[in-house]
């Protein structure tokens, strides 16, 4: 899976390098809240985002290698299985992020080229809305795999209440997965319905904050229920 993630990441870099050969030297690089172009810059600034994509893939690779090494070192089968599970989830998340960022870079390049050639004054592609839709999709993907993680300090709902034991971890992450998936769906719907990309970004952020707060509250409840259950069994 790491190879797939790196291939996708390098596609973003290679694709950008190819497209830059056909771009004018000066292209739009920034827009105001109304979508008007307020800064032009060198076309080579478009290489910054692909480098960031590679950096994210490197981080994911380091985490994957860490959990794989942990799985091989421990003699505890349960801990080893948990480490392997976490490595697999991070691999899938890494691929999803690489795909999302690469698609986003494609829209950025298309917009920059179109605007530069036509000497436009406004953005041809609303990158803010595109980013919100892609982020919503990523939230849905993350939610689908959150429930497959074992207790760890990297992926999932990682607070003291959820990490108390396997039961609190499972319950908290199952609820958190549902919450973040709902937030993702609402973000996509909001991006489609609203015209103002700044408003979409702020509302999308609100969805995630609300999902996070509700999940923390539920994790605390799951922890208290677990404590009461242990006391009742003692």
| 107-129 tens-digit pLDDT | 999 999 999 999 888 888 888 89
Q: What is the pLDDT of residue 48?
A: 95
Query: Averaged over 189-211, what is the pLDDT?
Result: 92
Least Cα distance to 102 among 219, 8, 200 occurs for 8
What is the 8-class DSSP label of residue 36?
B
In this predicted structure, the answer to whether residue 21 has a pLDDT above a threshold of 90 is yes
CA distance 199 to 190: 9
Query: Averaged over 123-143, what is the pLDDT?
Result: 90
Query: Averaged over 34-42, what is the pLDDT?
Result: 89
Per the CB < 8 A criterion, the answer to whether 115 and 28 are in contact is yes
Cross-strand pairs, 26: 42
Q: What is the pLDDT of residue 225?
A: 94
In this predicted structure, the answer to whether residue 75 has a pLDDT above a threshold of 80 is no
Least Cα distance to 90 among 15, 6, 1, 215 occurs for 1
pLDDT band at 233 (very low <50, low <70, confident <90, very high): confident
pLDDT band at 234 (very low <50, low <70, confident <90, very high): low
For the packed helices 127-146 and 166-193, what is the interaxial angle rounded to 10 degrees?
160
Alpha helices in 119-196 (DSSP H): 127-146, 166-193
In this predicted structure, the answer to whether residue 209 has a pLDDT above a threshold of 90 is yes
Per-residue CA distances from 109 to 22, 47, 99, 112 (Å): 11, 10, 15, 5
Per the CB < 8 A criterion, the answer to whether 185 and 129 are in contact is no
Q: Which residues contact 180 (CB under 8 A, 6 or more apart)?
A: 139, 142, 143, 146, 208, 211, 215
Q: What is the pLDDT of residue 218?
A: 96
């Amino acid at each position: 899976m790491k190879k797939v993630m790196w291939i996708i990441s390098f596609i973003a870099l290679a694709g950008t390098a190819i497209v830059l050969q056909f771009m004018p030297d000066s292209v739009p690089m920034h827009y105001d809240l109304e979508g008007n172009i307020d800064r032009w810059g060198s076309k080579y600034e478009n290489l910054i985002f692909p480098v960031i994509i590679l950096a994210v893939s490197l981080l994911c690779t380091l985490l994957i290698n860490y959990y794989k090494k942990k799985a091989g070192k421990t003699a505890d089968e349960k801990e080893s299985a948990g480490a392997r599970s976490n490595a697999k989830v991070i691999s899938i998340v890494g691929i999803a992020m690489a795909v999302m960022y690469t698609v986003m870079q494609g829209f950025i390049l298309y917009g920059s080229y179109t605007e530069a050639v036509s000497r436009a004054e406004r953005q041809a592609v609303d990158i803010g809305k595109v980013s919100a839709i892609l982020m919503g999709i990523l939230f849905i993907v993350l939610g689908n795999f959150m429930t497959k993680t074992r207790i760890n300090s990297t992926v999932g709902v990682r607070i003291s209440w959820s990490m108390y034991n396997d039961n609190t971890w499972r319950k908290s992450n199952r609820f958190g997965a549902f919450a973040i998936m709902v937030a993702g769906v609402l973000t996509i719907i909001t991006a489609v319905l609203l015209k103002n990309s700044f408003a979409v970004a702020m509302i999308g952020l609100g969805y995630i904050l609300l999902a996070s707060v509700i999940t923390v509250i539920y994790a605390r409840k799951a922890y208290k229920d677990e404590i009461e259950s242990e006391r009742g069994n003692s």
